[in-house]
Amino acid sequence: MNKSSKPSRCTRRDFLRAAGLAATAAAAAGFPAPYIVPSRVFGADAPSNRVGIGSIGVGNMGGSNLKGFRGIPGAQIVAVCEVDQQRLAEARQAAGLSSEHAYGDYRQLLENKDVDAVCVSVPDHWHVPVSIAAIRAGKDVYCEKPLTLTIAEGRALADASRRYGRIVQTGSQQRSAGNFRFACELVRNGRIGRVVRVEVGIPSNNRQCEPTWRPEPVPAGFDYDFWLGPAPWAPYHSQRCHYQFRFILDYSGGQVTNWGAHHLDIAQWGLGTDHSGPVEIVGQGEFPRTGLFTTATRVHFQCRYAGGTELICRTGGRSGTRFIGTDGWVYVDRGKLETEPRSLQFSCIRPGEIHLYQSRDHKQNFLDCLRSRTETICPAEVGHRSATVCHLGNIAMLLKRPLRWDPRQERFVGDAEADRLLSRPRRAPWHA
């Protein structure tokens, strides 16, 4: 070696990428894949094909995601984080971790050198702050849907992912299901002619609250102030936290962002607008006048895209996404695919036609892309754009008047009042 040259340093990520390429080549040649050696054998920075996952938020979907990643060969849960000590203890035990790898503060988990990537399953108002902190710490990110609380947050996250070269997967897992991909391929390849309208049905609220409420004592072992984080301070109530946070606008966007992050995401995919969005929005929703919950109880908003296609999202109808064209229609939901004419269900997407990104498993796709350093099926930009449609619908219903949107500039057209709803102030010390 030339003595004047500096020795190269093989980082874990360099090895992961090289190992992924080597495994692909070995499989093609008929050789067995290399044995996966846990990094703990050699140290945190040793080359290893094992991906160390840190689970941030382990309740509800967090518990499901933890179990999901544990079931994938080559992935290992190496750290967990949760503000509820009981849930933290349960997750630590499930993952087989010692207490030193269980954290009440995600910032401490991000300092763990054994963590290659994080799974962010915290309430929606925490998605972007935690994800950007992880990206800046050099971690790749699997973040639950909806990806963002506000449109401005989504732009910040997408930009951070690009700037720091981190892999991001949004948990809109319907893109990894074959019936959704095939439905969108039918639409994108003109099987139903020109798309005139898209109808998206989302469920009504599945939680109810009383018209009046009183503050409750904070349960022992629950760091409620940390749970609130950047959101405005408010007295504790059991219906404010855990799953029911999604029905309070300070933390989420109701069923519009909960199920819209799935079905409106498929609408975006089928329309080919993953890097764009509608140009006009009008809403006629209804919001609670009493009680703790503040998100829409009845949803009805309409969008128009630049090409003239109309999108309608509402509660009370059939759940899922229906594309209606000049020559037929395609309806898709979980486990369902219906078409008119019916023969479309048995058609074939031919060579030379549009074949959309294929993923058979959302978490596996994330891990594969982490190794290859290629884009996931639902990266930050795509998750941001789909969440934007959800947020536009909520803003239109709150303002109760037509709005014009510039998807390129990501601003409302000549509407300062609406622009103020693109972001929200954060409570100290969570400003950045």
User: So where are the chain's domains?
Assistant: 12-174, 175-356+381-422
Equal CATH topology for 12-174 and 175-356+381-422: no
Q: What is the pLDDT of residue 432?
A: 61
pLDDT at position 229, please?
98
Phi, psi angles (nearest 5°) of residue 18? -65, -40
Give the pLDDT confidence score for residue 415 in this predicted structure. Answer: 98
Distance, CA of 96 to CA of 119 (rounded, Å):
17
Looking at residue 48, what is its pLDDT?
60
CA dihedral sign of residues 386, 391, 396, 402: negative
Look at the block and give the residue holding tokens 């040649």: 29
What is the pLDDT, as a whole number, of residue 168? 98
Residue keyed to tokens 């029905």 = 247
The CATH number of the domain covering residues in 175-356+381-422: 3.30.360.10
How far is residue 52's CA from residue 54's CA, in Å, rounded to a whole number? 7
pLDDT of the residue at 49: 78
pLDDT of amino acid 423: 97
The list of the chain residues with pLDDT below 70 reads: 1-48, 432
Q: Please tell me the CATH superfamily of domain 12-174, with its number.
A: NAD(P)-binding Rossmann-like Domain (3.40.50.720)
Residue with tokens 């941001």: 384
* Pairwise CA distance, residues 382 & 404, whole Å: 21
CB-based contacts of 136, cutoff 8 Å, min separation 6: 160, 164
DSSP-derived secondary structure for 305-340:
-TTS-EEEEEESS-SEEEEEETTEEEEEETTEEEEE
What are the beta bridge partners of residue 333? 336
* Strand partners of residue 324: 197, 329
What is the three-class DSSP state of 31? Answer: coil
